A and B are shown apart, each in its own frame.
Chain A
Amino acid sequence: MAGSTLEIKDLHVTIEDQEILKGVNLTITGGEFHAVMGPNGTGKSTLASAIMGHPKYEITKGSVLLDGEDVLEMEVDERARAGLFLGMQYPSEISGVTTSDFLRSSINAHREEGDQISLMKFIKEMDAAMDYLEMDKNMAQRYLNAGFSGGEKKRNEILQLMMIKPAIGILDEIDSGLDIDALKVVSKGINKLRNESFGCLIITHYQRLLEYITPDKVHVMMQGRVVKSGGPELAQRLEAEGYEWIKEELGIENEVVGQKA
């Protein structure tokens, strides 16, 4: 199989009775990298969190299908085991649980009970991935994200992505708070996964990341919807001209969710 397909259809999401997403449509197939861009407050992160099943968000309408299976009917862990991965903007800190133990539990959760990864193989893979991401090996024995710098947390998300090898990765502002060197390393990690069986949805506020990861498709979100889609050239135009031209083109005065068109 050439990879999985994630279909988001007419997705409506509310948080504390405020509607944030107002009908998002998007389809990602294995082998494709999609970038979702847009100014702050337009629903990008909500989209990422809602797909994964964040407890704060309520889906009021629409569907999310992974290879035809209804994702919204699944528990969060089932979504992960079905092939979804969310690289978070603000990963939780969990004291007392080492990064290495957590990673191993995660990998084993994706495998059958009789087919758990051996400790040797796990350490070998983890070491290789950490080298690739230029991470300090001590991090594996530190408690999960506890006291990590912003950059360390983001690298740790990509480390997990590389080791879990999901069918579809959703990366929520993985570039925020990274200096240029860290950004390059993180991009290198994501690019390494590029192949037919991996699809990626990259949510970003800045064009900067897309200088290192070339998307196949670019989507712009405003007011809780995808308002424009295109190829990589769309990202370049946004970098050069900002978002104003799209707003003018579509007659949008304020792009933030909750504002009238």
Chain B
Amino acid sequence: MAIDTKLPYEKDYVSSYSERLNEPEWLKSLRFQGLELANTLPMPKPDKTNISKWNFSDFKHEAEGKKIDSLEELPNDIKVLLDLENENKNLIIQRNQSVGYQSLSSSLTEKGVIFTDIFSAIREHSNLVQRYFMKDAVSIDENRLTALHTALMNGGVFVYVPKNVVIEDPLQAIFWQEDLEVASFNHVIVVAEENSSLTYVENYVSNNKTENAVANIVTEVIAHDNAKVSFGAVDNFGAGTTVYVNRRGVAYRDATIDWALGQMNDGNTVSENITHLIGDNSISHAKTVTVGRGDQTQNFTAKIVHFGQNSEGYILQHGVMKDSASSVFNGIGKIEHGATKSNAEQESRVLMLSENARGDANPVLLIDEDDVTAGHAASVGRVDPLQIFYLMSRGISRFEAERLIIHGFLAPVVNEIPIKAVKEQLTEVIEGKVL
């Protein structure tokens, strides 16, 4: 195998890194465990995509970022993500690995809501973080990259919403990779206690083109009984970053986890979005939108696993491929034995804009229970010339007609993004990429 077995960082380094951050013993030993496992575990094996030649070892692990005194001073590509008119009180901007900006409305603080960077959370709420860190959603020993993630975790946020607390305004996290070579080993944990509800939106931004970097991200969302989590994300890593991102949800009884993911990276990407519907009547909508361009290769998995009775999972993946980009869309609905009356639905649509682009839609239903419903739809196609004809016959130019059709194609997901500014920015990113 051509896999690079050399690890980029050694135990001495990890040890001193952890000590500098004053980390508790549990985390330090977990990091060591991750490092050891990374030596023995295999790489993840995304279906139909060979990642053995991808760069997962050339990156810089640490870079500090300056404090942000005023949001006005931010560069434009960050500022557009903010709803500056209705000043967002619930905002974290992580600049490289430093907290550049952090704010949480006082009413939420009073209710016991925690919304802070992961290292502060570890210092101030060590037991709480330990309770969820790589426990119920993602495991340290799934593959070399989850192990390496644990060893080198270098950023992220922690969200905790206590029982019965309903948060109306979204919580927003912006991960700004200002340094062109710094890696993101971000760890995001979102915990919604019983009967609580929240909306969380995150943005990843980096501008590296030729500089190599790596993103190895783990996100764990836990929705306890009757909680509701709306999770929105726009990933926009530069062409030089290899991305492995794991977003995983666990929904208990009557809980809902809804995902709206804009996957706009310019580099090679493996993205896994998996939700475990543990409790009866739990629900998940997993909606993703992707634009592939240049010669990037991407592999997307959207998977919902049903354990609880009467659980409902809906997967919707829309992708547009141009240039010689290549993408695989795996949609997996899995119903475990005992999950009676569950419903697993999925739809994957790929729109091809060039002869050289590749798009594969891979729908899979794995059902181990009789009394269930399930369905899938998948298509890979080009822009319908009759649609173009129809729009042009009303005076609309070919360029504008194509733009309308592509936006229309992506709208079902784009419209689900919770923050208006982020939605508009996603629309702009899409525009910049496809036209």
Q: Do A and B bind each other?
A: yes
Residues of A within 8 A of B (CB): 52-55, 75-77, 79-81, 85-86, 88, 91-92, 94-97, 101-102, 105-106, 109-110, 143, 160, 164
Contact B408 A86 (CB under 8 A): no
4 closest Cβ pairs, A-B complex: A96-B408, A96-B411, A109-B395, A106-B394
Contact B393 A80 (CB under 8 A): yes
Contact A75 B394 (CB under 8 A): no
Contact B387 A92 (CB under 8 A): yes
- Residues of the B chain whose Cβ atoms lie less than 8 Å from the Cβ of A53: 389, 392-393
Of the candidates A79, A85, A94, the one having the most CB atoms from chain B within 10 angstroms of its own CB is A94
Closest CB of chain A to B66's CB: distance in Å? 41
Tally the A-B contacts, defined by beta carbons under 8 Å.
83
Contact A77 B405 (CB under 8 A): no
Closest CB of chain B to A161's CB: distance in Å? 10
Interface membership of chain B positions 356-390, coded 1 if the CB is closer than 8 angstroms to chain A and 0 otherwise: 00000000000000000000000000001111111
Instruction: Considering the complex, give the chain B residue whose CB is closest to the CB of A105.
Output: B396
Contact B385 A55 (CB under 8 A): yes
Contact B396 A97 (CB under 8 A): no
Count B-side interface residues using an 8 Å CB cutoff: 25
Contact B390 A88 (CB under 8 A): yes
- Residues of the A chain whose Cβ atoms lie less than 8 Å from the Cβ of B388: 55
- Asked if B294 CB lies within 8 Å of chain A CBs, one says no
Q: How far is the CA of A219 from the CA of B388 in the complex (A)?
A: 31
Interface membership of chain B positions 398-415, coded 1 if the CB is closer than 8 angstroms to chain A and 0 otherwise: 101100110111111000
Evaluate whether A96 and B409 lie within 8 angstroms (CB atoms) in the complex, with A75-B398, A105-B400, A110-B395 already known: yes
Contact B395 A164 (CB under 8 A): yes
Contact B395 A80 (CB under 8 A): yes
Q: How far is the CA of A54 from the CA of B390 in the complex (A)?
A: 9
Which residues of B from 7 to 39 have beta carbons under 8 Å from A?
none
- Asked if B108 CB lies within 8 Å of chain A CBs, one says no
Contact A143 B408 (CB under 8 A): yes
11 extra interchain contacts, Cβ-Cβ under 8 A, other than A53-B389, A77-B395, A92-B384? A80-B395, A80-B396, A85-B394, A91-B390, A92-B386, A92-B390, A96-B409, A102-B394, A105-B400, A106-B395, A110-B395
- Residues of the A chain whose Cβ atoms lie less than 8 Å from the Cβ of B392: 53, 75-77, 80
Q: How far is the CA of A35 from the CA of B230 in the complex (A)?
A: 56
- Asked if B397 CB lies within 8 Å of chain A CBs, one says yes
Evaluate whether A94 and B395 lie within 8 angstroms (CB atoms) in the complex, with A55-B389, A76-B389 already known: no
Contact B397 A52 (CB under 8 A): no
Instruction: Considering the complex, give the chain B residue whose CB is closest to the CB of A76.
Output: B392
Q: How far is the CA of A88 from the CA of B412 in the complex (A)?
A: 27
Q: How far is the CA of A81 from the CA of B397 in the complex (A)?
A: 10
- Asked if B166 CB lies within 8 Å of chain A CBs, one says no
Contact B394 A97 (CB under 8 A): no
Closest CB of chain A to B223's CB: distance in Å? 29
Q: How far is the CA of A75 from the CA of B395 in the complex (A)?
A: 10
Contact B385 A94 (CB under 8 A): no
Contact B395 A97 (CB under 8 A): no
Instruction: Considering the complex, give the chain B residue whose CB is closest to the CB of A101.
Output: B404
A164 touches which one: B389, B394, B408, B409 (CB < 8 A)? B394
Q: How far is the CA of A57 from the CA of B387 in the complex (A)?
A: 16
Evaluate whether A94 and B412 lie within 8 angstroms (CB atoms) in the complex, with A105-B400, A109-B394 already known: no
A102 touches which one: B384, B404, B411 (CB < 8 A)? B404
B394 touches which one: A55, A80, A95, A143 (CB < 8 A)? A80
- Residues of the B chain whose Cβ atoms lie less than 8 Å from the Cβ of A77: 392-393, 395-398, 401
Closest CB of chain A to B400's CB: distance in Å? 7
- Asked if B167 CB lies within 8 Å of chain A CBs, one says no
Q: How far is the CA of A51 from the CA of B373 in the complex (A)?
A: 49
Contact B393 A97 (CB under 8 A): no
Contact A94 B391 (CB under 8 A): yes
Q: How far is the CA of A122 from the CA of B333 in the complex (A)?
A: 45
Q: How far is the CA of A109 from the CA of B399 in the complex (A)?
A: 12
Contact A160 B394 (CB under 8 A): yes
- Residues of the B chain whose Cβ atoms lie less than 8 Å from the Cβ of A75: 392, 398
Evaluate whether A97 and B408 lie within 8 angstroms (CB atoms) in the complex, with A55-B389, A77-B392, A92-B387 already known: yes
Interface membership of chain B positions 86-100, coded 1 if the CB is closer than 8 angstroms to chain A and 0 otherwise: 000000000000000
Q: How far is the CA of A81 from the CA of B401 in the complex (A)?
A: 15
Closest CB of chain B to A165's CB: distance in Å? 12
Q: How far is the CA of A214 from the CA of B202 in the complex (A)?
A: 62
Q: How far is the CA of A53 from the CA of B408 in the complex (A)?
A: 24
Instruction: Considering the complex, give the chain A residue whose CB is closest to the CB of B405.
Output: A94
Instruction: Considering the complex, give the chain A residue whose CB is closest to the CB of B412.
Output: A96
- Residues of the A chain whose Cβ atoms lie less than 8 Å from the Cβ of B395: 77, 80-81, 106, 109-110, 164
- Residues of the A chain whose Cβ atoms lie less than 8 Å from the Cβ of B398: 75, 77
- Residues of the B chain whose Cβ atoms lie less than 8 Å from the Cβ of A81: 395
Contact A109 B404 (CB under 8 A): no
Q: How far is the CA of A77 from the CA of B394 in the complex (A)?
A: 7
- Residues of the B chain whose Cβ atoms lie less than 8 Å from the Cβ of A96: 407-412
Contact A94 B389 (CB under 8 A): no
Q: How far is the CA of A164 from the CA of B392 in the complex (A)?
A: 13
Q: How far is the CA of A92 from the CA of B394 in the complex (A)?
A: 12
- Residues of the B chain whose Cβ atoms lie less than 8 Å from the Cβ of A110: 395
A95 touches which one: B385, B397, B409 (CB < 8 A)? B409
B390 touches which one: A85, A94, A143 (CB < 8 A)? A94
Ordered by A's residue number, 19 sampled pairs between the chains whose C-beta atoms are within 8 Å are: A52-B393, A53-B393, A54-B389, A75-B398, A76-B389, A77-B401, A79-B393, A80-B392, A80-B394, A88-B390, A92-B387, A95-B412, A96-B411, A97-B405, A101-B404, A105-B396, A106-B396, A109-B397, A164-B394
